[in-house]
Structure 1
Amino acid sequence: MTAALPTVSIVIPAYNEEATIRHCLLAAIHQTEPADEIIVVDNRSTDATRVAVEAMQAAFPQAGIRLISQDDEQGITPTRNAGFDAARSEVIGRIDADSAIEPDWVEQVRRVFTDAELAAASGPVEYYDMPLRGFGHHADDEFRKLQVHLAGKYVFLFGSNMAITKQAWLQVRDEVCPDREDLMHEDLDLAVHLALQGLKIGYASAMVSGMSARRLDDDLRDYKFYVERFERTYAAHDIHELRLLTPMVVLLGIYPALHVQRRLEARLHADRALGV
């Protein structure tokens, strides 16, 4: 007997994302199988994020877009938590406001979570504002498979492209770190707490999301602080296994070349716009 397909909510935390949220929502709406609801959690935005979401609600009234506010605290962790708490479905998808999920993403999530033992899962990403997008997708997928192999019980979750069962969320929601100092990767912290509860985290190559590589535009100091969140997150849980830091080492290693490439491309686009 075929397992019943679960209901799926999509949660999108947002802070000052007027430039990206429409693109994100269009991808979430135009699915081979529609999500049961799409929840945008606004976290004290000072730009036109809310206006953009409200316009999408009016344009796509059947899409199940919900706009809620999380004004108690500034930060991704409480904003994500508010979205997860508000979700009504059996599985909660979680993406970023600059994510652009593939058209079969919801369909793939439903298939993945027919495995009743699975508590959460992530998939690969394609960087839609980088050249050689197909090659980048393949490289990202292979690298994440390697990470899963190296991680042992501490399989990662990636906030730009992940899903978790509502049941698993309720099991760990009071345990996840509030991270008010904003020092950790909140998705990695969530994964660690799931692992500590003995819950299974999977990886699904077919669960694909596009995302921006805008993090590479940061200067070296800010980028290094961001990437070192891996080390700080594990250390906060007294986990000191060098193999778990492989992503940090790789991301630091590729930064110089990709940062220069993006700067050159930005200059080229600017010159073209000026007719140079």
Structure 2
Amino acid sequence: MVDVSIVIPAYNEQERIVNCLDNAMRQSVSPYEIIVVDNRSSDATCTLVESFIASHPDSNVKLLHQDEEQGLIPTRDFGFTNAKGDVFGRIDADCMLKPDWVETVADLFSRDPQIMGATGPAVYYDMPAKHLGITSDDKIRRFTYRADGGKVLLFGSNMALRASAWRTIKNKVCRDKPDIMHEDIDISLHLIDQGLKTGYCRNMITGVSARRMDTPFPSFRKYMQRFQNTFDAHPDHSRAHDTEYALYALYPPLRALYPVYQKYLHLRHIEPAKQIWSKEQAELPKTTSDQTF
């Protein structure tokens, strides 16, 4: 079984970073290491991670600092450079990994030595109708998140990359100084450039926040434009489906529902990031829980 390092770039993520670490540690198979890479946070992100490490002295959580340059790409790259596992799991600081995520990733990469990058669906943990949400997300990603006749594009909030593949493309990925591209799609296209296999696994599931849908439409539209910007920067690649149009269709109802549902959660004293995988976590072997907490 391969060793999986989890890399979490973080900038001002005090609201969810502890929940993210909790879920990354509550796994049926422990990750080799969990690396939080702070990028000049001005809030309590670093303090919270340091407190988490102090409270879990036997954990494999590490806090690194990437202070030379502001931005997700250099922060991500710094984390990958310092990771020691055979496979790098890449998630965001507000992601809540399903308790079998590491096991699923390790099994996938162990069974198929040709696979170099993998991704899976996501569920919005701070929105209602979780089952419908994950079914819809799975459909969008399986059928539209593709390039060049069906090759899988990776999703940055839920992706894994073989260490050897990263070493192959690390000096080729775009730096995107203007910050107008999707860095996960850029990685995907560079993998495809090198003839490296990417795959989609329906059981590789993470919880993500729907907070992006709570942004004003001009900001949301600018974010969606990153899809086309990324392909414009890679003119040798094409796509049959424009994923952003499916997301545009989801925007109005989710934009209207998100603040209403947040008020409901607040009134009921529900912490969705803690509860998203509570049933699955309760079913973990007791030895796993004892080792982690």
Scaled by the length of structure 1, what TM-score is found? 0.93
Worse-superposed segment, 6-15 or 59-68: 59-68
Distance 2:84 2:53 in 1: 18
| Post-superposition CA distance 1:65-112 (Å, at most 9, x none) | 110011111111111000010100100000000000001110000011
SS of the equivalent of 1:233 reads helix
Aligned to 1:259: 255
Aligned residue pairs total: 268
SS of the equivalent of 1:113 reads helix
Distance 1:140 1:205 in 2: 10
Distance 2:137 2:43 in 1: 32
Deviation at 1:135, TM superposition (A): 1.2
Query: For the structure 1 residues 27 and 270, does the alpha-carbon distance in structure 2 shift closer, same or farther, using more than 3 Å as the test?
Result: closer
Aligned to 1:208: 205
| 1:178 and 2:175 correspond | yes
Distance 2:237 2:170 in 1: 24
71, 89, 93: which one pairs with 1:93?
89
- Is the CA contact 2:85–2:163 (under 8 Å) kept in the aligned structure 1? yes
1:27-46 map, 5 Å: 27-46=23-42
| 1:52 and 2:48 correspond | yes
SS of the equivalent of 1:228 reads helix
- Is the CA contact 1:189–1:233 (under 8 Å) kept in the aligned structure 2? yes
**Structure 1 unaligned residues grouped into runs of 5+:** none
| Post-superposition CA distance 1:147-168 (Å, at most 9, x none) | 2566525421011111000000
Residue type of the partner of 1:249? Y
222, 227, 233: which one pairs with 2:224?
227
Deviation at 1:263, TM superposition (A): 3.1
| 1:169 and 2:205 correspond | no
- Is the CA contact 2:140–2:246 (under 8 Å) kept in the aligned structure 1? no
| 1:76 and 2:76 correspond | no
Query: For the structure 1 residues 269 and 188, does the alpha-carbon distance in structure 2 shift closer, same or farther, using more than 3 Å as the test?
Result: same
Worse-superposed segment, 26-35 or 147-156: 147-156
Distance 1:107 1:219 in 2: 38
Aligned to 2:153: 156
Q: Which has the higher contact order (CA 8 A, sep 6+)?
A: 2
- Is the CA contact 1:14–1:42 (under 8 Å) kept in the aligned structure 2? yes
| 1:9 and 2:10 correspond | no
**Structure 2 unaligned residues grouped into runs of 5+:** 270-293
| 1:250 and 2:246 correspond | yes
| 1:241 and 2:238 correspond | yes
- Percent identity, aligned pairs only, is 44
Distance 1:240 1:150 in 2: 7
Distance 2:136 2:220 in 1: 21
- RMSD, aligned CA: 1.7
Scaled by the length of structure 2, what TM-score is found? 0.87
- Is the CA contact 1:154–1:191 (under 8 Å) kept in the aligned structure 2? no
- Is the CA contact 1:120–1:202 (under 8 Å) kept in the aligned structure 2? yes
SS of the equivalent of 2:190 reads helix
Worse-superposed segment, 236-245 or 168-177: 236-245
